[in-house]
C-alpha cells in the first residue's frame, strides 16, 4: 500500500513510513481484519438462524457441535488461526452477554488452533 501524504511535513513522512512498514509486515490492515471477522461472525449467526425447522432453536446452538454442517463450517472459518487478532478486537466491541460468551469461545478455539500448528 502506497500512502501519499497531503502535507509535506516530517510527521506526514513518519506516518507514511509507519503505514508502509506495518502493511508489509501484516499484509492486511486492522480494518480489513475486523471486516473479515465481522463477515464471518454474521455468516455464523445467519447459519444458526437458518437451521431447519425441526431443530429446536430454543435450546440454543453450540456451533462446534451443531448437527447442521453449515453452522460447523462457519465456525471453522471463524476460528481459523489467522483470525485470532481480529477476534480479540471484535470481542471487545460486543456488549450482549450471550454474544460475548460465543466470541470468547471462538477466540479460545482460534488460539488453540494457532498453537497446534
Query: Are 29 and 23 a contacting pair, CB within 8 Å?
Result: yes
Q: What is the mean pLDDT of residues 12-34?
A: 52
Residue-level pLDDT at 53: 60
Question: Are 40 and 23 within 8 A, CB to CB?
Answer: no
CA distance 17 to 25: 12
Residue 38 maps to a domain? yes
Residue 2 covered by a domain: no
In a domain, 106, yes or no: yes
Summary mean pLDDT of the chain: 76
Residue with cell 488460539: 111
Residue 57 inside a domain? The answer is yes
Number of domains within the chain: 1
Q: Is 75 exposed, middle or buried (0-12, 13-18, 19+ CB in 10 A)?
A: buried
pTM higher than 0.75, yes or no?
no
pLDDT at 12 over 50: no
pLDDT tens digits, 56-87: 555 567 899 888 899 999 999 999 999 999 99
Amino acid at each position: 500500500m502506497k500512502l501519499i501524504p497531503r502535507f509535506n511535513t516530517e510527521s506526514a513522512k513518519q506516518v507514511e513510513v509507519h503505514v508502509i512498514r506495518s502493511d508489509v509486515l501484516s499484509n492486511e490492515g486492522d480494518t480489513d481484519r475486523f471486516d473479515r471477522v465481522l463477515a464471518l461472525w454474521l455468516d455464523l449467526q445467519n447459519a444458526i438462524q437458518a437451521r431447519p425447522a425441526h431443530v429446536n432453536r430454543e435450546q440454543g446452538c453450540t456451533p462446534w457441535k451443531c448437527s447442521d454442517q453449515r453452522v460447523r463450517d462457519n465456525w471453522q472459518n471463524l476460528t481459523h488461526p489467522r483470525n485470532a487478532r481480529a477476534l480479540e478486537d471484535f470481542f471487545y466491541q460486543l456488549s450482549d452477554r450471550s454474544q460475548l460468551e460465543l466470541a470468547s469461545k471462538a477466540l479460545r478455539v482460534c488460539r488453540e488452533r494457532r498453537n497446534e500448528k
